[in-house]
Chains A and B, each alone.
Chain A
Amino acid sequence: KQEVTQIPAALSVPEGENLVLNCSFTDSAIYNLQWFRQDPGKGLTSLLLIQSSQREQTSGRLNASLDKSSGRSTLYIAASQPGDSATYLCAAPAYNQGGKLIFGQGTELSVKP
């Protein structure tokens, strides 16, 4: 049974700092992993989708990595800005259950000016 964990639950950093958000999953037989952003009271916005054949995926200041053997993914945010303040969620597909996604509880990021 797939379980997804995100640490830390909350993170506060000063503007301009580079930071890493962590995501762990128990079932390494995944075919992709996805990172989402959620602003308060809003829906989820897909940030990056990493296929199992990839080790990294980049979009602007964001870089996500995937290490299936260790059951870990990281989201790296370079030169953080106050506009990056949001909750970041990772999600892995449930094994052999179609499109069902298993989400972590999220990391609430606050970037202080």
Chain B
Amino acid sequence: ETGVTQSPTHLIKTRGQQVTLRCSSQSGHNTVSWYQQALGQGPQFIFQYYREEENGRGNFPPRFSGLQFPNYSSELNVNALELDDSALYLCASRPSYSGNTIYFGEGSWLTVV
């Protein structure tokens, strides 16, 4: 049990639609990051939030955006969905900026058709 919960667990969207994925972290975990994991690949860093501000971004287009809230929850929003966005999206949190063990949620499986 990592204390990180994600919703929904599975969803199917149509190309061009928008999706919002949600994550709830442990109390005190003020750093949250999101990763995309395609089938058979390692997770790829999308972005990181620290105290509600984005402070790091991977090689993903602006249609990938996020929010972090004071209650340790966060969102990943993806606009104009493409077929290649089909993947497992993982939320991870940690109690400080860097250096400590990171805790992952179970992920949200997104299928774009």
Residues of chain A at the chain B interface (Cβ within 8 Å)? 4, 31-32, 34, 36, 41-46, 49, 89, 91, 93-94, 97-106
Contacts and interface: CB of A to CB of B under 8 A. Distances in A.
Contacts, number: 70
Contacts of A99: 31, 33, 48, 56, 94, 97-98, 102
B90 interface: yes
A100 B43 CA distance: 11
A103 B43 contact: yes
Interface size class of B (residues with CB under 8 A): 20 to 34
A110 to B, nearest CB: 15
Contacts of B58: 100
Contacts of B104: 36, 43-46
Contacts of A89: 42-43
Nearest to B43: A103
Interface of B: 2, 4, 6, 31, 33, 35, 40-45, 48, 50, 55-56, 58, 88, 90, 92, 94, 97-107, 109
Given A42-B106, A43-B107, A98-B56, A103 B101 contact: no
